[in-house]
Amino acid sequence: TMNTYLPKLDMVFTNWMGLNYCGTFVNPTPTTILYTVWLWNPVTYAWKSLAVTPPIAGSPASTGAQCVYDPTSATESVICAIYHYAVVRFSNFNTGAGTVTATVLNSNAGLPLGFSLVIDPDRKTLFAIGNDDAAPPGTGNIYAIDLTSGSYRVTDWTSSVVGCEDVMGYAY
């Protein structure tokens, strides 16, 4: 999902794609795909923009992302898979300064549109499950990223799993 609850901040994180109906998305540089994220305060109903430091450079064709809260991190953080591009961790949310730190974990992840993310906190593994929106129903994949390895390499587990066809066969 693009919206992820941050329990310590008691706010909802969303990447830039989530505010198309609440504001205007204007990219100041065509080679920067992510320069701001947003937090929504459920108490005040107010939005707060946070500048991404450093901004994430990349292909302007990389649109959309799926994000998930990372329960394995010592500090509150969110991991997002930017479609056909990178896996990024957002941490150090500083609402006073209006900034958030972005760390590109894997700049060649290449996960397609339509996948859902989930983190197994015991195994410290990020799973991407589903199919590309352009793929026919019933075809899909399951990918794993070891969050402890340091390389954050994407591993295709599709041929290693049994009984997951319905889960990974559709875009979510």
Which residues lie closer than 8 Å to 159 by C-beta, 6 or more apart? none
Which residues make beta-bridge pairs with 38? Answer: 14, 49
Overall average pLDDT of the 100-122 stretch = 86
Helix (H) or strand (E) holding 167: helix 165-168
pTM: 0.82
pLDDT digits (tens, 9 = 90+) for 83-109: 777 888 999 999 999 889 989 898 887
pLDDT band at 45 (very low <50, low <70, confident <90, very high): very high
Which residues make beta-bridge pairs with 87? Answer: 81, 106
